Amino acid sequence: MQNRVIAEMLDEIADMLSVDETATSRFEVRAYKNAALTLLSLQQPIEEVYKGGGAKAVMKLPGIGAGIAGKIEEFIKTGRMKKYEELKLRYPINFRELLTLEGMGAKKAVMLYRKLGVKGLADLKSAVEAHKVSSLEGFGERSEEMLRRSMQLLESSKGRILLGDALPEAESIVRLLLSAKVVDKAVIAGSTRRMKETVGDIDILAISRTAGKAMEAFTSLGDVESVVSRGPTRTTVALRIGVTCDLRVLPPESFGAAQQYFIGSKQHNIGLRKIAIRRGYKLNEYGLYARSGKIIASEDEREIYERLGMQYVPPEMREARGEIGLSLLHKIPELVELGDLKGDLHTHTRETDGTSTIEEMAEAAAGAGLAYIAATNHTKSLRVAKGMNDAQFAAFNNKVDRLNSSFGEKFRVLKGAEVDILKDGRLDLSSTTLGAMDCIVGSVHTFFKMGREEMTERVVRAVGSGMVDVLGHPTGRLIGEREPYHVDLDAVAQACEDNNVALEINSWPNRLDLNDTNILLASKYKVMFSIDSDAHSTTHYQMLRYGVGTARRGWLTKERVLNALPLKALEKRLKR
């Protein structure tokens, strides 16, 4: 699956083009960024898209025109991209590394290269330790300290990748093994199956009558960089996306026990083994055994829980956070599922930083099985995203009204905005404009370094304005890139309860904000949650599954999810 590799190349081309502003560079930068965004969110391998119709099929993807489709075709055919290689000769800089750091842009990266010879993180770390960065124009001591802290955060996540990269890769491998007819059955296990936000390796379990052929096919996959170890029933490979992948071929009679064991987590399995021992059994990856050695359950993992007197525990809950006690009492909640979502309350169009029209976004949402979306473009203070002012929203809302008239009862676009929560807690649009909206997402996009008390007051003031329906990405974190801002989440959740404001679970794989632990914390309050895609393209509704996975890790039921409500019930709740 070459999606990420090509997306990173396109993104880096955009970064290099942005250094020297020309008459056409701004347009080109946006085009390459949009194409990269599309590929990153595409759950289908781009090679399959190309195979189905060549460059013309690639051009049907949002944000990808003929020129960029040609470059994608070039890479698929040759493994190279001429424009990328030409620009890299001019800028031999690892933009992918450096631009993940908070406060770092392409122009600053080039300045560090030209002034200090910095090409990547190792060079930058040396420069920061020698205090050479603070003396450069445009940096200073605060910038140098921010870079130091950001590098530490990045280092702490090294060796792990986002769930949004791991899950599509794992699914692609399973699909290829099945299509090659070398396995009869294959499933994803480990932290990927538990929908953990980052993944250290990928685990795949299979049943095969020809294990040798399965291992041969596995090691020959195009995404395999090298073979770490190979055996008759277990092989480990290093993947190009930066993690290893294990394939285990198992006998059918122990497949259920193996799933339970290899899905994990380790602490959850320890808890189950203790229960098995108390009941006079032995539990391992091969099955549940009586004292006599007779196998009691092994083919179906659900049967293992049943034989232990437990309710089946969904994989997302298996983190030893109290689920074993609930299982013994048969009180495991019925967790929210992707199919429970009726709509999406956080989407963007090309009027700001999206890549698709509102018509295209609505049609794609309907095609994804949704009954409504809220069009929530950015507001004027967020200039980097081409935020809209009051007059622009009025004109856009007229367009939404006309679109809704054409849809009739089939689909509904709610008028909204992702309104900036300003430094003092005020909202970035007039009360008249906000009052005419159906659904307002309030979000913090600036001044992340405020103190905890000040930030809490800021967010609580916005929540208490009577104008916010959903608090967007409530802690502001970017996984491995930016720490959460300091805020009292208990105080915020209480304010949301008091003011009928939902807390968002943002489904972008590098956000997943709120995360699972914060969902569990906030669930103590009588507050709803909104699982949103933050879609900037028609392909981004696919992200919702990551938000749902995170919600399930936070033990949420559909009754706690705002956008699981049918439209009329939602409108009743949103009515100011």
Q: What is the DSSP string of 347-406?
A: E--TTTT-SS-HHHHHHHHHHTT-SEEEEEEEBTT-GGGT-B-HHHHHHHHHHHHHHHHH
The mean pLDDT of 270-286, rounded to a whole number, is 95
- Please determine, for residue 295, whether its predicted confidence score (pLDDT) is greater than 90: yes
Q: What is the mean pLDDT of the chain?
A: 94
Q: Which of 85-99, 340-354, 489-503, 521-535 has the lowest mean pLDDT?
A: 85-99
User: For 481-511, what is each residue's pLDDT tens digit?
Assistant: 889 999 999 999 999 999 999 999 999 999 9
User: For 127-148, what is each residue's pLDDT tens digit?
Assistant: 999 999 988 888 888 888 889 8
Greater pLDDT, 23 or 232: 232
Greater pLDDT, 237 or 100: 237
The mean pLDDT of 46-65, rounded to a whole number, is 90
Q: How far apart are the C-alpha atoms of 342 and 363, rounded to whole Å?
A: 14
| Percentage of residues of the chain with pLDDT beyond 90 | 82
- Please determine, for residue 454, whether its predicted confidence score (pLDDT) is greater than 90: yes
- Please determine, for residue 91, whether its predicted confidence score (pLDDT) is greater than 70: yes
The mean pLDDT of 341-366, rounded to a whole number, is 96
3-state secondary structure 130-143: CCCCCCCCCCHHHH
CB atoms under 10 Å from CB of 66, counted, come to 10
In Å, how far are 188, 288, 372 from 298, measured between CA atoms?
A: 18, 6, 44
- Could you tell me the fold of the domain covering 161-249? Beta Polymerase; domain 2 (3.30.460)
Q: Which part of the chain is CATH 3.30.210.10?
A: 254-328
What sections of 386-478 are H helices per DSSP? Answer: 390-407, 431-435, 452-463
The mean pLDDT of 322-350, rounded to a whole number, is 97
The mean pLDDT of 252-262, rounded to a whole number, is 95
The mean pLDDT of 116-122, rounded to a whole number, is 92
- Please determine, for residue 187, whether its predicted confidence score (pLDDT) is greater than 80: yes
- Please determine, for residue 283, whether its predicted confidence score (pLDDT) is greater than 90: yes
Q: How confident is the model at residue 4 (pLDDT cuts 50, 70, 90)?
A: confident
The pLDDT of residue 157 is 67
- Please determine, for residue 203, whether its predicted confidence score (pLDDT) is greater than 80: yes
Q: How far apart are the C-alpha atoms of 497 and 527, rounded to whole Å?
A: 5
- Please determine, for residue 404, whether its predicted confidence score (pLDDT) is greater than 90: yes
Q: Which CATH architecture best describes the domain 254-328?
A: 2-Layer Sandwich (3.30)
- Please determine, for residue 20, whether its predicted confidence score (pLDDT) is greater than 90: no
- Please determine, for residue 62, whether its predicted confidence score (pLDDT) is greater than 80: yes
CATH assignment of 3-140, among 3.40.50.880, 1.20.810.10, 1.10.150.110, 1.10.287.3510? 1.10.150.110
Q: How confident is the model at residue 576 (pLDDT cuts 50, 70, 90)?
A: low
Q: What secondary structure letter does DSSP report for 30?
A: H
Q: How confident is the model at residue 76 (pLDDT cuts 50, 70, 90)?
A: very high
CATH assignment of 338-574, among 3.40.50.740, 3.30.379.10, 3.20.20.140, 3.40.30.10? 3.20.20.140
Burial (CB < 10 A; 0-12, 13-18, 19+), residue 90, is exposed
The pLDDT of residue 142 is 86
Q: Which part of the chain is CATH 3.20.20.140?
A: 338-574
Q: Could you write out the DSSP letters of every residue in 149-168? A: HHHHHHHHTTT-EEHHHHHH
The pLDDT of residue 281 is 96
Q: Which part of the chain is CATH 1.10.150.110?
A: 3-140
On the question of a cis peptide bond just before residue 514, with omega within 30 degrees of 0, the verdict is: yes
Q: Hey, which residues does 142 pair with through a beta bridge?
A: none
Q: Which part of the chain is CATH 3.30.460.10?
A: 161-249
